[in-house]
Amino acid sequence: MNQTIGSICVALLLMVVGWRLPSIKGRQLLFLAASYLLYAYWGIGFLLILIGSSLMNFACGSVLRRKVTAPRLWFGVVLNLLPLAFYKYLPPVLLELGLAGSWQYDLIMPIGMSFWTFQGLSYLFDIYYEEETDPSLLEFCLYMAFWPTVISGPVCRLPRMLPQFRQLSPFNWDDVSTGSLRIIQGVMMKFVLAHILGSGWKPGEGIAAGFDQIKGGWGGVDVWFLGIGYGFQLFFDFAGYSLMVIGAARIFGIRLQENFDRPFLSTTPSIFWTRWHMSLSFWIRDYVYNPLAAAGRRYSWWPHVVLVISMTLFGLWHGARWTYIVYGVYHGLLLVGHRLGQQVKRQFPVRLPRSLGAFLSWGTTFLLLAVGFIFFRANDLTQAWTMLSAVITPAAYGHFAMPRSFYLLVSTAAVGYFVATTGHSLLLSWRARYRKAVSERREPTEGQWPAPVTNFTMLIGAILDFFTERLWWWFAPAVSIVAFFAGLVIYTREAVIAVTPFIYTLF
C-alpha cells in the first residue's frame, strides 16, 4: 500500500513539474512518464500491451500516410481488433460453446483496452480521410496513454489533443477552479449517488439486489423502477467518472471532450444519443455510420439498416453478451422508428400545444430508455424477457417484490436529477446575466461593487460568479477527497473484475 501511494505521489509530482517546464518536449516526456507509471500499477504486462499497441498504430499510420490505400487501412484495423477480440470476446465465446479451459480464468483484459484501441483506430481512419495529423512518436504515445483517459475514456481524437500537447498552457486560475468544480461534482455523483442507488440504504434495497432477486419474481412496477434506477445509477457512475477525468485534465490546461449532456432530458432517441456517452457515440457515427451510409446512399432503406448495424456495434463494444447485442439492436430499431415516425408526421401533421407535445415526446423517450436499460443490466436474456413480460402483464402490477424504501430511493434520485438539472441551468443563466452586466459597465473604481445587484437574480449571479471563479480555494479539499477514494479503489483492486468500483472498467 505504501508503495502504491508513493507511485501516485511520484506520478503527480511528474505532472506538476512537467506542467511548469518551459520545454514542450520535456513536458510531454514527464506527462508520458506519469501516465505510464500510473497505468503500470494495474500490471506491467498491461503496460507492455499498451506500449505495443501504441508502437504498432504509429507504424501503421506512418505506412498509411506514405500511400493511402484501403488495404493498408484494413491491415491496421485488423491488427487493432485481433488483440481486443482475443482478450475481450474470445473467452466468453468459448465459454458459451463449452470449449473454455482453465486458462480462461487467467486471461484478463488490460484495463481500458476498449477505449485506447478505439483511439488508435480513429488515428488510422483520420489519416485515411486525410485529416491533418502528424504526431511524433512521443506525442502519439502520450495520446494513447494520457493518464486521465486511459482507464475509462472519454475516447479522445488526436486532432483535438495534439494542439494542446504542443502548447505551453500558462498557469490559469480559471482552469484550476473549473477543474476543481468538475472533480467535486464527479466525486459526489460517482461515490455517493451511484453507490447509494446500487447498494441501497440497507442491504437488499438497491438496484443490484433488485436484479438478483430472481426467485421472488418481479412486478410491473418493480421492472419500471429497476430500469429507471439502473439508468440513473449508470449515468451517475460513468458521468461522474468522466467529470473527474475532465476536471483533472482541465487543471493541467488540457480540455477534454464532454461525455454527457443532460441525457435524461432528451425528447427523442436521436437526441439521447447526442448526449449519452458522446465520445463513443460520435466515434461510431463518424467512423461507422457515415461511411456505411454514404456507400449505399442510392437506396432509401439503406441508412436504416446502417443505423441498426451501428447500434449493434455499440452494444457489442461493451462485451460479448447477448444482452448487450440485443440492447444495441433495440436502440437501432428505436432510431429507425423515430426516423420513420418523423416522415409520417410530415405527411400527416398532428397539431398539439407545443409544451404538451414536448412533454409527451420526452415521457415516451424516457420510458423506452428504461426498457433498454433492462436489456443492458439483466444477467441474461431469459431474465430480461421475464422482467419485460411483467411490464406487459396487467396482473403483474399488483405484485411488489421490492421493499418500499427501494421505490422511494429511485423516485428521489429521478426527481432530484430533474430538479438539480433545471436549477443548474437557471443558475448558469443568472451568472451569464451578471457577467454581461459587468462587461457592459465601465471599469469600476476600487472598493466599488463590480456590477449592479438591483434584483434577486443579479445578486445570485454575483455570488455564484464569485465562488466559481475562486474554486481554487477548495482545491486542496477536493484533491484530498479524490486521493482518499483513489486509495480505496486501489486497495480493493483485486476484486476489479468481479465487483468493480468503476462500472465502465468492465468494458
Domain-embedded: residue 504: no
Same domain, 255 and 307: yes
Same domain, 209 and 268: yes
Same domain, 223 and 366: yes
Domain-embedded: residue 423: yes
Domain-embedded: residue 498: no
Of 322, 291, 288, the closest CA to residue 308 belongs to 288
Domain end position, chosen among 168, 194, 209: 168
Domain-embedded: residue 193: yes
Q: What's the pTM value of the predicted model, to 2 decimals?
A: 0.88
pLDDT of 495? 40
Domain-embedded: residue 335: yes
Residue 324, pLDDT > 70, answer: yes
Give the pLDDT band of residue 225 (cuts 50, 70, 90). very high
Same domain, 221 and 306: yes
Residue 74, pLDDT > 60, answer: yes
Give the pLDDT band of residue 91 (cuts 50, 70, 90). confident
Check: CB of residue 225 under 8 Å from CB of residue 128. no
Same domain, 6 and 131: yes
pLDDT of 228? 97
Size of the chain in residues = 507
Domain-embedded: residue 476: no
Same domain, 163 and 189: no
Cβ-Cβ contacts under 8 Å for 119 (sequence gap 6 or more): 143, 144, 155, 156, 157, 158
Same domain, 204 and 314: yes
Domain of 13?
Answer: 2-168
Same domain, 224 and 121: no
Of 85, 106, 104, the closest CA to residue 94 belongs to 104
| From 41-50, 114-123, 383-392, 452-461, the region with the lowest mean pLDDT | 452-461
Same domain, 223 and 100: no
Domain-embedded: residue 490: no
| From 54-58, 98-102, 173-177, 316-320, the region with the lowest mean pLDDT | 98-102
Same domain, 127 and 276: no
Same domain, 78 and 120: yes
Instruction: Give the whole-angstrom CA distance, residue 139 versus residue 12.
Output: 19
Please measure the distance between the N-terminal and C-terminal CA atoms of the chain and give it in whole angstroms: 26
| From 9-13, 37-41, 159-163, 316-320, the region with the lowest mean pLDDT | 9-13
Looking at the structure of the chain, the number of domains it has is 3
Same domain, 81 and 229: no
Cβ-Cβ contacts under 8 Å for 239 (sequence gap 6 or more): 186, 189, 259, 260
Provide Rg for the chain, Cα atoms: 24
Check: CB of residue 464 under 8 Å from CB of residue 430. yes
